[in-house]
Amino acid sequence: MPDDLLRHVIGPTPYSSWWLWLAIALTVVLIVFYLGVFVATSPRRRLRTVPVVGAARDRVIRYRAARAVRAIGDRYRAGDLDAEPAGEAVDRELRRFLRQVSGVRAEYMQIDDVANSEIAAAAPLLANLVDVRFNAASGLDVGVVSHDAEELIRSWA
């Protein structure tokens, strides 16, 4: 075999550097994905201690709850809901909000228990909602009570 043909034989073709950058990018995406899953599935109390995530989570919960209460009040004012179902819906949304924000199981608590807990600021409003729901002769307006609930939600610290 003549030596002049050896100049046409070369070694393996080198890999492109794009493969390295693609592997690095996919690794970073995988790490971010697992961190997202960890944050999304972590217990709520621990999530509240993360500075940016906890503040954003509380803001989103506050916004959703206030929007739901406002929608219930608007439906009552429009005549789509009677006083008792509207009061029950506002009570349910308010208690759900209190549980999500404070961790106190407000859905299962009596008014006296609420008054003696860390969510005591909501006890008078919950008492008004109980009056609206169970007292047919109540003089309270559900529209006003729903507005008060919305203000409590927006100002909750």
Q: Is residue 45 scored above 80 in pLDDT?
A: no
Q: Is 60 or 49 the better-scoring residue by pLDDT? A: 60
Question: What are the residue boundaries of the structural domains of the chain, listed by start?
Answer: 14-49, 51-155
Q: Taking residues 62-90, what's their average pLDDT? A: 93
Please give the share of the chain, as a percent, with pLDDT higher than 90.
56
Give 43's DSSP letter.
Answer: -
What local confidence, expressed as pLDDT, does residue 4 receive?
A: 74
Q: Token match 């008054």: residue?
A: 115
For residues 93, 94, 97 and 103, what is the CA-based torsion angle, rounded to 10 degrees? -120
What local confidence, expressed as pLDDT, does residue 44 receive?
A: 60
Structure tokens at 32: 């971010």
Q: Taking residues 59-73, what's their average pLDDT? A: 93
What local confidence, expressed as pLDDT, does residue 152 receive?
A: 94
Q: Taking residues 71-85, what's their average pLDDT? A: 92
Q: Token match 């950058």: residue?
A: 21
Mean pLDDT value across the chain: 87
User: What confidence tens digit (pLDDT) does each residue in 111-128 have?
Assistant: 999 999 999 999 999 999
